[in-house]
Copies of this chain bind each other. A is one copy, B any other.
């Protein structure tokens, strides 16, 4: 298992043009979404606002939906970073608790609806999956994979919110974590 590069672990971005373009495009998307009160922005507008050539944007993101989803994913990672509490149980519970809180805010629900609307573009979820896997790889003695965290923890939280129930309450989140850890012993 390869460790993340040290400078990434310290939260410092690689400083290349690709990263600068990405930051400029994301900032433009967020500004336009806020100004236009929409989840859907035109790539021509993003290009004009960011100063990044439209061809560059199309080459990287292909569709406005994929771009919106990538922006939403980045926002989720910022609002709800992966915890590092020292134990797998603590990490999972902190992660679930933060997800449940952030996904219940209006922009969290907008994120879920964006993901659903963009389904087919789900390769963009891979970044989050890699973050989850890195959290699991730190912990000893279990057989959990990121799919198990998705199915056992994220799916109930996301689906309850999508269906309008609101997220699971803290005791239920703790129970879901215990069941997930027990499943990882097998």
Residues of chain B within 8 A of A156, CB atoms compared: 150-152, 155
Residues of chain B within 8 A of A48, CB atoms compared: none
Flag if A122 contacts B158 (CB, 8 Å). Answer: no
Binding site for B on A (CB under 8 A): 113, 115-116, 118-122, 125, 147, 150-152, 154-156, 158-160, 162-165, 168, 172, 176, 178-179, 182-183, 186
Q: List 25 A–B pairs whose Cβ atoms lie within 8 Å, in order of A's numbering.
A: A113-B116, A115-B163, A116-B163, A118-B164, A119-B162, A119-B163, A119-B164, A121-B164, A122-B164, A151-B155, A151-B160, A151-B176, A152-B152, A152-B156, A152-B179, A155-B155, A155-B156, A155-B159, A155-B160, A162-B162, A179-B183, A179-B186, A182-B182, A182-B186, A183-B183
